[in-house]
């Protein structure tokens, strides 16, 4: 099946409660990953676009963190309600959602 036209990775890293860096898991990353996967399926993009959980993407302070390849576009603070826009604008049309992009 691979390679995919776009490949989305959602950080679902878990740290112990109270860790100074925090973690994407405690900010709802698992639900976010599920929402993105479901939206890709609903939009019949399977095979073209894939979403996967990933280990720590080293952008903990911006979490939940999502990176889309091959463009290497990084999104931060992503909520389930942002997913339709990411799917329609970026994954379907190839237009970055600038309001969600992380400023490194």
Q: Which residues sit at the interface with its own copies, rule CB under 8 A? A: 1-4, 7, 9, 50, 52-59, 67, 69-72, 74, 102, 104
Nearer to its own copies, 92 or 102 (CB): 102
- Give the 3-state secondary structure of 79-99: CHHHHHHHHHHHHHCCCCCHH
Instruction: Provide, rounded to whole angstroms, the least separation between the CB of residue 71 and its own copies.
Output: 8
Strands 66-69 and 49-54, bridge-based pairing? unpaired
Of 74 and 90, nearer to its own copies (C-beta) is: 74
CB of 49 to its own copies, least distance (A): 11
Q: How far apart are the first and last CA of the chain?
A: 33
φ/ψ bin of 72: left (φ > 0), alpha (ψ from -120 to 50), beta (otherwise): left
Q: How far is the CB of 94 from its own copies (least distance, A)?
A: 15
Residue-level length of the chain = 104
Q: Which is nearer to its own copies, 11 or 83 (CB)?
A: 11
């Amino acid at each position: 099946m691979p390679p995919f036209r776009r490949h989305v990775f959602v950080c679902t890293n878990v740290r112990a409660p109270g860790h100074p860096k925090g973690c994407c898991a405690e900010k709802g990353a698992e639900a976010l990953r599920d929402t993105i996967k479901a939206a890709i399926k609903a939009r019949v993009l399977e095979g073209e676009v894939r979403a996967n959980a990933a280990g720590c993407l080293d952008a903990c302070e911006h979490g939940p963190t999502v990176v889309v390849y091959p463009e290497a576009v990084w999104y931060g603070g992503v909520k389930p309600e942002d997913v339709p826009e990411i799917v329609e604008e970026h994954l379907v049309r190839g237009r970055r959602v600038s309001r969600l992009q992380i400023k490194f």
